[in-house]
Amino acid sequence: MTETSSRSKPIEAWITGIGLATSLGEGLDAHWEALNQRRINADEKSFAPYVVHPLAPVSFDAQIPKKGDQRQMEAWQRIGTYAAGLALDSAGVKGNTDILSRMDMIVAAGGGERDLVVDAGILNAEAKGNAAPGFLNERLMNELRPTLFLAQLSNLLAGNIAIVHGVTGSSRTFMGEEAAGFDAVRIALARIAAGQSDIALVGAAHNGERKDLLLLYEFGDFNLKEKFAPVWTREQSSGFALGSGGAFLVIESRAHAEARGAKPFARLTSIVADHARRKRPGEVTSTLESLWSKLGSRAEATAIITGATGAEPVTSEERAFLRAHPDIPVRATGTMFGHALEAQFPLGLAVAALSLSRGALFAPDDSSDQEIEMSEPPAQIVVIGAGHWRGEGMALVEAIR
Amino acid sequence: MTAMRDKSGRPVVVVTGMGVVTSLGSGKTDNWARLCAGESGIRTITRFPTEGLRTTMAGTIDFIPVEPFSSTDLSERLANIATEEAVAQAGIGSAGDFPGPLFLAVAPVELEWPQRHELGRVIGSDTEIDYDQILRVSGGGAFKKYHRRFLFGSVADHLAETFGTKGSPISLSTACASGATAIQLGIEAIRRGEADAALCVATDGSVNPEALIRFSLLSALSTHNDPPHAAVRPFAKNRDGFVMAEGAGALVLESYEAAVARGAKILGVMAGCGELADSFHRTRSSPDGKPIIGCVRNALTDAGVTIEQIDYINAHGTGTPENDKMEYLGISSVFGERAKQIPVSSNKSMVGHTLSAAGAVEAVFSLLTLEHQRIPPTINYDVPDPAIPFDVVPNAARDACVTTVMSNSFGFGGQNASLILTREPV
């Protein structure tokens, strides 16, 4: 591969593989069916008062054959490694060492899961007066599993994908909540468009069934409590329900795909992102408007798939943006998948590419007036991500006819 | 006039500003003086009790007060200091208005023990503490600041606001190669023509009890606690692990064209970068060394230089038995007999392993090596390892003619990245 000089015409990039494992199931057919049946898998009891979207049962053995590998991972890594394997299968490159050894990888990741029992045990002992210097050291030295650290390190999802699936061209991990998700795909696309890369695996995974994560968002009162409601109808109780899931894409240059006879799901035309300071009302709305204008020409049959979180004030700001573009059918992935932070944007791209490849936008899943039916096949879908706290991203995905 | 584009027709990427802070001190001047004097920044830990720990020393940065302490707050402070120095030297943009994107290498962020203790105290000793109780007391705004503080993107957000970088700031982790990856992302953005300038920063303030214990449980750390300054022994036969350290490095990268156009002083050239992931094991390198070899070759190819042109290697050189052995295997496989002739030294022998920051800290030191034509030593090299016949520049700095440096970074999770830096465009 020779890198072309800059500022030449961008190289066309296709989405040729999709891997999805979420609260709605695994694989593309299961997701398409669930989306069109308006299924929602929200659990109001297990983590009450918090609502979460738990991972549907998944046979990890199918993508992570070695039990030893599975034991080395915590749930978020298993979900991601599993979804990455599905994406490689879907692209038809699984086990193709020639391609995998030069395939780039960008993963958007949060961090690992804590040992809640160890944490609570230490706090209880300290509350009962065990405050000697070195007490914390002693407990952590004795009680932390030596390999837990490896299941906590952000870059070890990528590390596990390299080990289990053999993707080794490069390995980069982006962090930073929702923004990491769109920046991972943005950089992967930019590298392909500039000829710096031919093919990339990009995506993220999230385990929403975690009290240590609920804690981080509870500090800011971001968790949806008591009762599930669609993203657009949370005026009375704003917030998000954490969702479990992994979403990975194989993106490659059109020439690379055609040379190996790969069938595209969709064209990934462009991704733009920004970082509004959010100090004044309306900043997110105007940032989204500006990203929209940068995305390029839009056809008649356009739809929007947004990762709107349900958190405020950002969701209201996004609604103001959407109101300025009436008559475009909108779907909010937060309603049926919950909020998967880093994974939400790759998830949006995945269902956008799936919809374009099936020639239809899936059914609306919302009682408000925000989501309308779309009768014609979408030609383009704009995927939106506005982070619960920071980060605005937008992608244009197009049908290949 | 020197060509503005490299052999592959891409914009040449230069460095116009650098900043560094390590356990040796704050700023390039202090760091360089103490590095060339062979001083160590490793000391006995006083930040927290060390009873019961196998390792009781680290390259902590105690001269920058952070109260109350959290690793994330320290990381942010260190990044801020290094970036201020780099941006001031570059003289680019205006205050709070850096004309390009931010790429930040930062350790994974998480809630730390002081905050957990605080929550425990709120629950009190009459109630059995579990995560449900912790959650019960966490909402309602009393701990709102911890949401913001312990988001992964929080340090980058702070830097983006303070320095006015453009677009969506990227926080990244490739473990101990993170600093090199941040630079690589900057190089690529400029080569693509997306930006004329990029701010590449790497920071780590990770010396807290749990982080130390995690590495200790993986048997990765040196236990040569006394004297602490002799703990890090890269390439020596009696090396027994790395030593955790804190620090930050910041570099202002620009296209050569943009730098010349604004009359900026060119500090060096980012001639090339390479990477290759290892699929062998979560913490160990493939025994055949192929991923390291491939990474080094990718960097040479990307820069368009031959092994004969490399006249100094700034090693990853952590001082773990495994790393140093594999680094020798990788370098000697690529460089052949020349591997024994090229000076290969480890800055970590003095500053310790600054983890997420190391790649950028060592890039700054590599550029200072080019500027001063002087190679910092590998200290604590008293017992050579016959299996690693590198010229490690043992114990004393050395004047040398250096035009092209390779800087290597390898990390857990199969991360490998190499940078090629030169004085002039190649």
Q: How confident is the model at residue A4 (pLDDT cuts 50, 70, 90)?
A: very low
Question: Please, how many CA atoms are within 13 Å of residue A32, restricted to the half-sphere of its CB?
Answer: 15
Q: What is the pLDDT of residue A88?
A: 98
* Sign of the alpha-carbon torsion through B205, B208, B213, B219: positive
B117, B151, B285, best to mutate vs chain A, most A CBs in 10 Å: B151
- Chain A 53-92, CB below 8 Å of chain B: which residues? 72
| Mutation target vs A (from B47, B76, B143, B152; most A CBs, 10 A cutoff) | B152
- A1 pLDDT exceeds 60? no
Which DSSP letter does residue A43 get? B
Burial degree of A399 (CB within 10 A; 0-12, 13-18, 19+): buried
For the segment A359-373, the average pLDDT, to the nearest whole number, is: 89
* Percent of chain A that is helix, strand, coil (3-state, to 5): 40, 20, 40
A397: part of which helix (H) or strand (E)? strand A392-398
Residue A203, both tokens: 């995506």
Residues in A closer than 8 angstroms to B412, CB to CB, are 150, 153, 155-156, 159
Interface ipTM > 0.90? yes
The predicted-structure confidence for B174-209, as pLDDT tens digits, reads as follows: 999 999 999 999 999 999 999 999 999 999 999 999
Nearest 5 degrees, angle CA B137-CA B138-CA B141?
110
Q: Which two tokens stand for residue A319?
A: 């609604």
The pLDDT of residue A5 is above 80: no
Residue of B nearest to A47 (CA): B132
Closest CA–CA distance from residue B36 to any residue of chain A (Å):
33
What is the SS3 assignment for chain B? CCCCECCCCCECEEEEEEEEEECCEECHHHHHHHHHCCCCCCEECCCCCCCCCCCCEEECCCCCCCCCCCHHHHHHHHHHHHHHHHHHHHCCCECCECCCCEEEEECCCCCCHHHHHHHHHHHCCCCCCCHHHHHHHHCCCCCHHHHHHCCCCHHHHHHHHHHCCCCCCEEEEECECHHHHHHHHHHHHHHCCCCCEEEEEEEECCCCHHHHHHHHHCCCECCCCCCHHHCCCCCECCCCCECEECEEEEEEEEEHHHHHHCCCCCCEEEEEEEECCCCCCCCCCCCCCHHHHHHHHHHHHHHCCCHHHCCEEECCCCCCHHHHHHHHHHHHHHHHHHHHCCEEECCHHHHCECHHHHHHHHHHHHHHHHHHCEECCECCCCCECCCCCCECCECCCEECCCCEEEEEEEECCCEEEEEEEECCCC
| Contacts with B, A 235-294, CB within 8 Å | 273-275, 277
Closest in A144, A168, A391 to B168, CB measured: A391
Task: Give mean pLDDT, residues A160-164.
Answer: 98
Pair A164, A79: CB distance under 8 Å: no
Banded model confidence at residue B378, pLDDT cuts 50, 70, 90 = very high
Lowest pLDDT segment from A354-368, A377-391, B95-109, B306-320: A354-368
* C-beta atoms of B108 and A393 within 8 A: no
- Beta carbons of B400 and B373 less than 8 angstroms apart: yes
Q: How far A210 CA lies from chain B's nearest CA (Å)?
A: 10
Chain A residues closer than 8 Å to B279 by CB = 162-163, 166-168
* A247 sits in which H/E element: strand A245-253
Task: Kindly name the residue from B36, B176, B200, B295 that is annotated as catalytic.
Answer: B176
Interface size A-B, in CB pairs within 8 Å, comes to 266
Question: Touching check for B276 and chain A: CB below 8 Å?
Answer: yes
Task: Indicate whether B29 pLDDT > 90.
Answer: yes
Give A-chain residues touching B132 at CB under 8 angstroms. 211
What pLDDT does B51 receive?
Answer: 96
Q: Are B319 and B222 in contact (CB under 8 A)?
A: yes
Q: Is B229 a residue of the active site?
A: no
| CA–CA dist B172, A172 (Å, integer) | 7
Instruction: Give the pLDDT confidence score for residue B1 in this predicted structure.
Output: 47
Task: Report whether pLDDT(A298) > 90.
Answer: no
d(CA B388, CA B340): 9
- The residues in B 228-247 lying below 8 A from A, measured between CB atoms, are none
Inter-helix orientation angle A283-294/A314-323, to 10°? 50
Q: Is B283 on the interface with A (CB under 8 A)?
A: yes
Closest CA–CA distance from residue B53 to any residue of chain A (Å)? 7
Residue-wise over A50-70: b if at least 16 C-beta within 10 A, else e? Answer: bbbbbbbebebeebbeeeebb
* Torsion sign across C-alpha atoms B112, B207, A156, B100: positive
Q: Which of B131, B282, B291 is opposite residue A116, by nearest beta carbon?
A: B131
What Å distances lie between residue A140 and A135, A262, B4, B223, CA to CA? 9, 50, 54, 18
* Interface membership of B162 toward A (CB under 8 Å): no
Helix (H) or strand (E) holding A354, with range, is: helix A344-358
In chain A, count H helices and then E strands. 15, 13
- Nearest CA-CA distance, residue B141 and chain A, Å: 6
Tokens standing for residue B143: 């701990």
**Gap from A105 CA to chain B (nearest CA, Å):** 9
Q: Which domains does chain A have, with CATH numbers?
A: 13-114+148-398 (3.40.47.10)
Q: How far is CA A222 from CA A51, A235, A241, in A?
A: 11, 13, 9
**Using a CB-CB distance cutoff of 8 angstroms, which residues of chain A are in contact with residue B108?**
111-112, 152-154, 175
pTM over 0.95: yes
Which tokens go with A155?
A: 């870059």
Structure tokens at B402: 């250096």
User: Which residue in A100, A141, A104 sits closest to A13, CA to CA?
Assistant: A104
For residue B378, which phi and psi values (nearest 5 degrees)?
-100, 115
Q: pLDDT by residue (tens digit) across B330-359? A: 999 999 999 999 999 999 999 999 999 999
B316 included as an active-site residue:
yes
- Pull the structure tokens for residue B187: 């190089």
Lowest mean pLDDT among A1-15, A20-34, A168-182: A1-15
How does residue A179 score in pLDDT terms, banded at 50, 70 and 90? Answer: very high
pLDDT in tens, A321-341: 999 999 999 999 999 999 999
Q: Retrieve residue A299's tokens.
A: 């056809």
Residues A194-226 pLDDT 10s: 999 999 999 999 999 999 999 999 999 999 999
The average confidence (pLDDT) of chain A is 95
In chain A, what residues touch B277 (CB-CB under 8 Å)? 105, 158-159, 162, 167-171
In whole angstroms, give the CA distance from residue B242 to residue B223.
9
Chain A CB within 8 Å of residue B155 CB: no
pLDDT at residue A147 in the model:
87
Q: How far is A163 from chain B (nearest CA, A)?
A: 4
Look at A180 and B152 and tell me if their CB atoms are within 8 Å: yes
- The total number of residues shown for chain A amounts to 401
Q: How many angstroms separate the Cα of B115 from the Cα of each of A152, B144, B278?
A: 19, 12, 36
B353 is catalytic: yes
Residue A316 sits at the chain B interface (C-beta within 8 Å): no
Domains of chain B are 13-110+150-422 (3.40.47.10), 114-148 (no CATH)
Average pLDDT of the segment spanning B378-402: 98
What are the chain A neighbours of B117 within 8 Å (beta carbons)? Answer: 123, 126
- Residue A197 in contact with partner chain B when CB distance is under 8 A: no
Q: Which helix (H) or strand (E) holds A91?
A: helix A75-91
Q: Is residue B391 a contact partner of residue B344, using CB atoms and an 8 Å limit?
A: yes
Rounded CA separation A335/A310 (Å): 9
Res. A346 pLDDT band, cuts 50 70 90:
very high
Write the residue in A124, A133, A186 that is nearest to B129 by C-beta.
A124
Q: Which range has the worst mean pLDDT, A66-70, A146-150, B187-191, B373-377?
A: A146-150
CB contact under 8 A, B120 and A163: no
| Region class of A398: left (phi > 0), else alpha (psi between -120 and 50), else beta | beta
Question: Exposure string (b/e) for A355-375, b if CB count within 10 Å is 16 or more?
Answer: bbbbebbbebbbeeebbbebe
- For residue B26, the distance in angstroms to the closest alpha carbon of chain A comes to 27
Query: Which of B192, B273, B412 would you mutate first to test chain A, the one with the most A CBs within 10 A?
Result: B192
